[in-house]
Amino acid sequence: MADGAAAGKADGAGAFRLTAINDEGDRVVAEPESMGRVRELHEQLSDVVVTLNSKVSRVLHKQEQEFLSAYRGHMYSVQRELQTWKDKADAARLRQERDQRMQRLTEECAWFRKEALRLNKFTTALKRDVTALRERLGAVEEDRQWLSRQLKAAKKDNKLLRAELELRMTEPSAASLPAPLDGADESGRGGGGDHRGFFGGGGAATLPPLGARERADQGPASRGPFITLGEDVDGGMAGSSGMLEQAGDFACQ
């Protein structure tokens, strides 16, 4: 073309549009019949592009709400299951603690039972010991009373022996007395009195102890191991002193 240049462009729909440019200006080019449809679709596409962001936003918001709802439901079920397992764990722990406590109480009960039996045996033995000690105490008390009576009797006899000894020491000795005459002896026989109990056959004076009559009246059971007639005074005093010391030792025990 000498007057102008022609250019051809193909669109997406397959329609072909021609343009002519020359020195005088644009020329009117005939449009295809489908050009109106193309413009309509272009406008619709432009509207879709404009509203795409809002639509995508609405879809995203809807999906987000659904996801959050599903997440809340899932978390609720998870928490409920977690609480269930927690309750089961607490129940198991309580059962374990209860079993341990029951076992500990059973062991303590067995120990207390054994301790009660041991203390019962110990108490029974102590009761037997107390009974034996009471019997022994009664016997010791009887011995003490008997020894007290013996000590009192020994003190009384000691006083009598001391008085008798003092009386014998104050009387004249038998050697200083004169020998009796035959007439006196015969007169004594004629009078019917026999003084051999007072004066011995050899003529020596043997005075009976003053406490002998009292001890004879008391009887052999109540006299005890005291000096009898005819015993030596010094030997009787020594025996009485030993007896008194022995009685005092028994009374102290």
Give the model's pLDDT for residue 109. 96
d(CA 72, CA 118): 68
Digits of tens for pLDDT over the chain (253 positions)? 334 444 444 444 444 444 444 445 556 567 777 888 888 888 888 888 888 888 888 899 999 999 999 999 999 999 999 999 999 999 999 999 999 999 999 999 999 999 999 999 999 999 999 999 999 999 999 999 999 999 999 999 999 999 999 999 988 655 455 555 444 444 444 444 444 443 344 444 444 444 444 444 444 444 444 443 334 444 444 444 455 455 455 444 4
Exposed/middle/buried for 233, CB within 10 Å: 0-12, 13-18, 19+? middle
Residues in CB range of 148: below 8 A, 6 or more apart: 251
d(CA 253, CA 248): 9
SS3 for 105-170 is HHHHHHHHHHHHHHHHHHHHHHHHHHHHHHHHHHHHHHHHHHHHHHHHHHHHHHHHHHHHHHHHHH
Return the amino acid letter for 15.
Answer: A
> How far apart are the two ends of the chain, measured CA to CA in Å?
168
